[in-house]
Homo-oligomer: A and B are copies of this chain.
Amino acid sequence: MLELRLVQGSLLKKVMEAIKDLVTDANFDCSATGFSLQAMDSSHVALVSLLLRSEGFEHYRCDRNLSMGMNLNNISKMLKCAGNDDIITLKADDGSDTVTFMFESPTQDKIADFEMKLMDIESEHLGIPEAEYHAIVRMPSSEFARICKDLSSIGDTVVISVTKEGVKFSTRGDIGTANVVCRQNTTVDKPEEATIIEMNEPVSLTFALRYMNSFTKASPLSSTVTISLSSELPVVVEYKIAEMGYIRFYLAPKIEEDEEDNNS
């Protein structure tokens, strides 16, 4: 028997909106620890990892580990039927091949439940090793989203270069080149507006902007984003989910044939 009650239902809505562009079908894994998902995007280039810890739920009951295959678009359709202030409860009986989403309006005047068939989805669950990163950048998620969107009107790939002074996002395309430099800046009044750079070693890596722009769909989940970079490792773009966990996107860097793209 599975029963997860999430008071802040809008959070689940945002999570699905953030993932559904990237992943069409995925297994949601429930254990005593929490509710999690790991899935490759449809072209097997990027990886999404979601964790909602059990402590973040108002009520969390998961008698035994359960993996539920669902179509993200269908979930998203159902969640569109939930109000932003609704309390969402997810239920599944042991051995059942369905899952039920229940939406309670804050006033309890309206209760909706949606039952959905589960799917069999094969997936390799990859162990993602904790790694040491050459550089970790934390910045406002809206700013990162804006930069990725802007640069994608110029080029297809972004070179992210980190030095002690700041982080530089560069692209080039038919119409010219673009560089956006964000200086390290810890002095702002509000910590969520700071740009903080932890750097052990300068690093410069190239990524497809298409994926970066997909990742930034998670911006509503957190006011800040953390970008962890190491040469030869996939970048990690992480959005913390308050009190509950995170959503992390992994993307392998492009190998540059044309190293001049890395010049300033």
Contacts and interface: CB of A to CB of B under 8 A. Distances in A.
Given A153-B77, A153-B80, A110 B181 contact: yes
A115 B177 contact: yes
A208 interface: no
A93 interface: no
B74 A175 contact: yes
Given A143-B110, A182-B110, A195-B109, A115 B176 contact: yes
Contact of A77 (B143, B154, B181, B188): B154
A55 to B, nearest CB: 29
Interface in A64-89: 71, 74, 77-78, 80-81
Nearest to A177: B115
A1 interface: no
Interface residues of A, number: 35
Interface in A187-220: 188, 195
A178 interface: yes
B81 A112 contact: no
B109 A185 contact: yes
Sort A-B residue pairs by CB-CB distance and give the 10 closest, nearest first.
A81-B150, A116-B176, A112-B180, A74-B175, A114-B178, A109-B185, A115-B177, A115-B176, A111-B181, A77-B153
Contact of A98 (B81, B154, B176): B176
A113 interface: yes
B153 A183 contact: no
Contacts of A143: 110
Interface string A94-132: 000010000000011111111111000000000000000
Contacts of A49: none
A179 interface: yes
Contacts of A116: 175-176
Nearest to A83: B146
Contact of A182 (B74, B80, B109, B185): B109
B98 A179 contact: no
A74 B178 CA distance: 12
A114 B154 CA distance: 9
A179 B114 CA distance: 6
Nearest to A98: B176
A78 to B, nearest CB: 7
B77 A175 contact: yes
- Among A110, A153, A177, max chain B CB count under 10 A is at A110
28 contacts: A71-B175, A74-B175, A74-B176, A77-B153, A77-B175, A78-B175, A78-B178, A81-B151, A81-B153, A81-B178, A107-B188, A108-B183, A109-B185, A110-B180, A110-B181, A110-B182, A111-B181, A111-B183, A112-B180, A112-B181, A114-B154, A114-B176, A114-B178, A114-B179, A115-B177, A115-B178, A117-B175, A117-B176
